[in-house]
Each structure stands twice: as structure tokens, then as C-alpha cells.
Amino acid sequence: MLFASTLRLWPLDSLVSSLAHMLNALHTHIIAVVTFLVMVVVLSAGGGWLGYMSALDQLELRGRSDLALAADRLTGELLRYRELAVLMADHPTVAATVDGDGNGVAELLRVTADKTGSLDILVVSVAGRELASASGNGAENHAKQPYFTRAMDGALGVFHLVQRRYDQRTFLFASPLFSDAGPVIGAVIVVVDVNAVEAVWRGARPTVFFTDELGVTFISNRSEMVFMAREVGLTNRSATAEYAPDLLRPFMTHSIKDRGGLAIWTVLGQRYVPRAALHLSLPLPVIQMTGEALLDVAPAQLLARLQAGVVAAICLAFGAMLFLATERRRTLADANAKLEGAVQTRTAELSHANAELRHEVGERTATEAQLKKVQSDLVQAGKLSALGQMSAGISHELNQPLMAIRSYAENAESYLERGNIDVVGQNLGRIADLSRRMGRIIRNLRSFAKQESEGLTDVDLRSVMVAVLEMTQARAKSSCVQIVWTAPKTPLIVRGGEVRLQQVVLNLVTNAMDAMEGQSDLQHIEIKIEKIDARVNLSVRDTGPGLDEPDRIFDPFYTTKQINQGAINHDGVGQNGMGLGLSISYGLVQSFGGMIRGRNHPRGGAIFTVTLDASLSGEVST
């Protein structure tokens, strides 16, 4: 039930379309956010990568100089012993030893070894046999050793090895002993204690190690790295031939990545070696080794992460600002669009209403013009109808003076023959009066028939009444109607049109006479004019049967008289009702700014009142 009513409130299709709209907007938002986040990730990764690479470059520069320094120190240290070997080879006591005179040589060797910090100094014959040594322990045959072979060739032999005799890593420099004649007669070998050389820089940063051509780490500032055999493995024959197999250890587990031409090692399971390290190497042919360094890249990585974080933070802040600005602009644009839409709708509605109003006004104006035309036609028709009504009375009115004129003229003729000039003069005077009266009647008639189109003028109601009474006098007389009217002494000026007012009043008087037509008892029309403030009231009251339907009397074509309803009285004036008289009068009085009312009088009969504006100027129209 509830669902059904909800559905009725919100139709399903509009629900679906608004849901689809929302999903669409959400989808667009998600795509925008994901795209933005991807961009942020790419940018921050790029920023981080650049930072990492530049930090690596710096690290490489520093590392190379560190490695060069360490290598210099080592080679410098070792070369001292090489020079010692060369110098000792020139010593006469040593040369004498080879020649068979070993007096004092052992002492010399020991003293020299002590003073120079050498592990041992040996004098070896050309056959490789040891003739004398500083340590005096053992008599090894050096014949097959590479350093010895090299010395026998007249060059300087360099070698490193772990000798059982010293039970430690040693570096050997073998200098040839030349006889006076020239050929090599033996060699002086200086044995260097690698531990002593190493001790100075053990634990220093960065991690530095020196590997020999067999891939074995022989010297390092990290003791755990010593004897780590790399690449060639522990099974490498040369290595195991040179080093005791139990001495060698597997090289630390590591993977290598290339970062812009730089090798980054990821080292596992080493406590004193950085986990992620930049690997640098420097060949040292003088000591037949390769110097290597492992530089911790953690600071570079931290810097890179920081840089990436900063880039991401800047991007996110910028994005958030952009998002807020876009949202704000979108909200504003939405509100604007809504407002514009509302304004457009309202404007369209207003324009439509305006057009309708204009159309209506046009129609009304046309109708009004038509009405005016009809009204003026009706006025004219009403006038003509009144004329028709009056014509009988008027002809009677004119006929009477005409007959009188004729009699007066005939009488005057006879009196003239008799020479009674006075009577003739009197008759002529009467004839002149009568013709004046006839002229007045005719003038009224003509002005009545004329179309009055002028505007409003000041009209004296007394002259209107005189004209009306003149026109109705004959009928009133014949119908035995008594018209009671006392003309005011001063002019009563109203705003209107004289002829139109005559028409209105004439219609009221004629209607009253029509109503009382055939009435046996008193036929009485009372006309009153009174001024109240700025208004003038003219009332026509009769003693007839009163109004049948007072509400309808002003309706056009409302009449209770039948056309030519056999009411042609003895004067020929008939009640040929058209039902236009009062409606035309209504229009005329309204056009004067006044009003006309009709009602039944409490004491019988009907009373009509015409209220008009009194003239402000008080002047009588001419």
C-alpha cells in the first residue's frame, strides 16, 4: 500500500532516470579521482626516481673518492714494503748471503723487519731455497711460486697468500738479487702482515674490500668479508689450489640491479654490510687486486621517498584545491543554470501571458469598437423609432397652429377689406407667434434626428426639459396625462450632450406615458430636478403599473410591448416596443459619467432617476 502510494508520488521512470543520472555522475567522479591518483603516483614516482638518481650520483662521486682513498692508503702502505724489498736486495750483506757468506744477515733481516713492521724478510737462492729469514722459522722452497719466478725474471714479484708458516694472510714482494756481472742470483722477499695493514681502517665507512684475480676477498675493512670466494665458487680449482678449501667462504648472498648504469646490490644476511648498497670497483694492477666498495643507499632511498612524498603531497594539495575550486565552480554553474532555466521559464510564461493579454486587449478593443458602433447605430435607431413615435404627435402639433394660422390669415383678409387694421395687426402677430412655435418644433425635430458625436459640454437641464415637454405635449394632452414639472429659477448645468439628454428624458417620459396608456384613473408624471453637492438628480415618476422585472429593464431588446401591438392610440402614437430605449439611455448616461436607475415606487408606479455630474464652470452652453 505504502509502496503503491510512493510510486504514485514518485513515478518509476523518473526514479530510474534520476538513479541513472546519479550513477553516471558517480562514475565520472570515480574515473576522475582514479585518473588523478594515477597521475599523482606517476608524478611522485618520477620525482622520487629523479631524486634517487641524483642522490645515487652524489653517492657514487663520494664513494669513488672514498674507494680511491682507501685503495691509495692500501697500495701506499704496501708499496713501502716493495721499496724495502728493492732496497734490501741492494744491501751488501744480503748479496754476500747468496754468495755463501751468511754472517750477520739474520740479524740484519730481523732488525729491518722490526723497524719496518714487516712480518718477515727472506733471502732466497736462485734455486728457490731459503738462505736466511728474519723470523728464522722454516725453510720453504719458493722455486715454483709465481713471485719468485717473476723475481728470477728480473722483475718485481708481487703476491698474496695465506702461508701455513705465518698462519695468516700475507702480501709478498720479491725483489731480484743481481750479481755484479748481471744475472739474477737470488731474491729478497718481504712478507707483509695484511692484518697489520688492515687494522688501521677496520670498521671504517664505507665497506671496502679487495679481491684478487680468483675472486677471493683478501683484504677488507669488514673482517667477515675476508676469504669470501665470489663467482668462481668454492669449487674453483685455482682458488682451492691456492687457498686451503676450509678457509674459503661463500660470497654473501646478493642480487644486482642496474640503476642508470650503477649496480645496486641487495645483500642478505650480513650484519655489517648495508642491505642495499651501491657497488663500485677500482682495478689496482699494482697490487694485482680490484678494490670494491659497498655504499649504503638507504639515505638516498630515504631522500627519494621524501622527495616522492613531497611531490605527492604537493600534487594532492594542488588536486584538492583544484577539486574544491572545480566543485565550487560547478555548484555555482549549476545554481546559475537552474536560475537561468527558472528565469527562462518564467520569461516564457510571462511572454506567453503578455501575448495572451495583448491578444485579449486587441479583441476587447475590437469588441469595444464594434460595441460603440452598434451602440451608435442603436442610438440612431432609437432616435428614429422615437421620431416615428413622435411624428404623429408632431404632425398634430404642427397641424393645429397651421389651421390656426390659416384661420387667422383668412380672418385678417376679411378685416382688411373692412379696414379694421388693428385686428389685422393682431392676427398677423398671432400668425408670427404660431409660425415661431412651429419653427421651434421643427428645429427640435431636426436636431433630434441629427447624429450627435460631440464630446461633453455644459447643458442646462431646464432647456432639455423644455424641448422634451414640447415634443410630448401633444401626446400628453391627447392621452390625458398630466405632466408635473416646476422649472427651477436658476440654471442647472450638467455635463453631457443636449440632444442625447433630450433623448434620454424623452424616452423616460414616453415610457411613462406608454405604461399608463389606457389607464382610467389618474395619469400623472412627476418630474423633479435636484442638486446634491456636485451631482444633479433628475427623476421621472409615473402612476402606472410599475416595472414587471426591474432587473432586466436595461437589457437590450427587453420589452413588454409588442411591436405595433395594436396600441396605436387615437393620435397614432403606438407602443411599438423594441426594447432598446432604456439600454441606449443607460449607455448615454454612462458616457456622461453619470448613472440611471429604475425601480418601483413604494406608493405605486415606476420612478427613474438620472444622476449627472454638475458642471464645475457653471456656464450655460450655447
Q: Which is nearer to ligand ADP, 208 or 504 (CB)?
A: 504
481 binds ligand ADP (CB under 6 A): no
Residue whose beta carbon is closest to ligand ADP:
581
The pair phi, psi for residue 585, each rounded to 5°, is -60, -40
Smallest gap from residue 510 Cβ to ligand ADP (A): 7
577 binds ligand ADP (CB under 6 A): yes
Smallest gap from residue 574 Cβ to ligand ADP (A): 11
Q: Which is nearer to ligand ADP, 117 or 579 (CB)?
A: 579
Binding mask 496-535 for ligand ADP (x = CB under 6 A): -----------x---xx--x--------------------
Q: Site for ligand ADP (CB under 6 A): which residue of 547, 588, 589, 610?
A: 547
Label the pairing between strands 228-229 and 249-250. parallel
Contact between residue 276 and residue 301 where contact means Cβ atoms under 8 Å apart: yes
Cell of 569: 392610440
Q: Site for ligand ADP (CB under 6 A): which residue of 51, 63, 544, 594?
A: 544
Smallest gap from residue 589 Cβ to ligand ADP (A): 13
Binding mask 98-127 for ligand ADP (x = CB under 6 A): ------------------------------
Q: Which is nearer to ligand ADP, 217 or 507 (CB)?
A: 507
- Quote the CA–CA distance of 206 and 274 in Å, as a whole number: 9
Q: Which is nearer to ligand ADP, 44 or 511 (CB)?
A: 511
Residues in region 191-250 near ligand ADP by CB under 6 A = none
Q: Site for ligand ADP (CB under 6 A): which residue of 88, 561, 594, 610?
A: 561
Q: Which is nearer to ligand ADP, 48 or 577 (CB)?
A: 577
Size of residue set near ligand ADP by CB under 6 A: 22
Torsional sign, CA 560, 564, 565, 569: positive
**Closest by CA position to 119, among listed 136, 94, 144, 107:** 136
For 246, which DSSP code?
Answer: G
**How many other C-beta atoms are found inside a 10 Å radius of the C-beta of residue 125?**
18
- Quote the CA–CA distance of 322 and 38 in Å, as a whole number: 16
- Binding part of the chain for ligand ADP, among 11-19, 56-64, 235-243, 558-566 by CB under 6 A, reads 558-566
- The separation between the first and the last C-alpha atoms of the chain, rounded to the nearest angstrom, is 86
Q: Site for ligand ADP (CB under 6 A): which residue of 581, 594, 596, 610?
A: 581
Is the previous residue joined to 206 through a cis bond, with omega within 30 degrees of 0? yes
Q: Which is nearer to ligand ADP, 240 or 611 (CB)?
A: 611
Smallest gap from residue 490 Cβ to ligand ADP (A): 29
553 binds ligand ADP (CB under 6 A): yes
Smallest gap from residue 591 Cβ to ligand ADP (A): 17
Q: Site for ligand ADP (CB under 6 A): which residue of 53, 185, 578, 620?
A: 578
- Quote the CA–CA distance of 604 and 516 in Å, as a whole number: 12
For 129, which DSSP code?
Answer: B
Say which residue the cell 432586466 belongs to: 552
Q: How far is CA 469 from CA 251, 382, 465, 477, 508, in A?
A: 150, 18, 6, 11, 12
Binding mask 596-615 for ligand ADP (x = CB under 6 A): ----------x---------
582 binds ligand ADP (CB under 6 A): yes
Smallest gap from residue 529 Cβ to ligand ADP (A): 18
**Closest by CA position to 452, among listed 466, 464, 469:** 464
- Binding part of the chain for ligand ADP, among 27-35, 101-109, 228-236, 546-554 by CB under 6 A, reads 546-554
- C-alpha of 540 from chain center: 76
- Quote the CA–CA distance of 198 and 550 in Å, as a whole number: 141
**Closest by CA position to 191, among listed 128, 76, 110, 255:** 110
- Binding part of the chain for ligand ADP, among 78-86, 124-132, 349-357, 571-579 by CB under 6 A, reads 571-579
**How many other C-beta atoms are found inside a 10 Å radius of the C-beta of residue 620?**
15
Q: Which is nearer to ligand ADP, 176 or 598 (CB)?
A: 598
48 binds ligand ADP (CB under 6 A): no
Smallest gap from residue 607 Cβ to ligand ADP (A): 8
For 100, which DSSP code?
Answer: T
- Quote the CA–CA distance of 609 and 533 in Å, as a whole number: 16
Smallest gap from residue 356 Cβ to ligand ADP (A): 37
Q: Which is nearer to ligand ADP, 71 or 465 (CB)?
A: 465
381 binds ligand ADP (CB under 6 A): no
213, HSE (Cβ side, Cα atoms, 13 Å): 10
Residue spans of alpha helices (H) in 489-580: 498-516
Element spanning 597, H or E: strand 595-600
Residue spans of alpha helices (H) in 418-548: 421-449, 461-479, 498-516
Amino acid at 562: Q
Q: Which is nearer to ligand ADP, 274 or 577 (CB)?
A: 577
483 binds ligand ADP (CB under 6 A): no
Beta bridge pairs of residue 259: 262
- Quote the CA–CA distance of 495 and 593 in Å, as a whole number: 8
Smallest gap from residue 530 Cβ to ligand ADP (A): 20
Helix (H, G, I), strand (E, B) or coil at 322: helix
Smallest gap from residue 464 Cβ to ligand ADP (A): 18
Contact residues for ligand ADP, defined by CB under 6 A = 507, 511-512, 515, 542, 544, 546-548, 553, 558-561, 577-583, 606
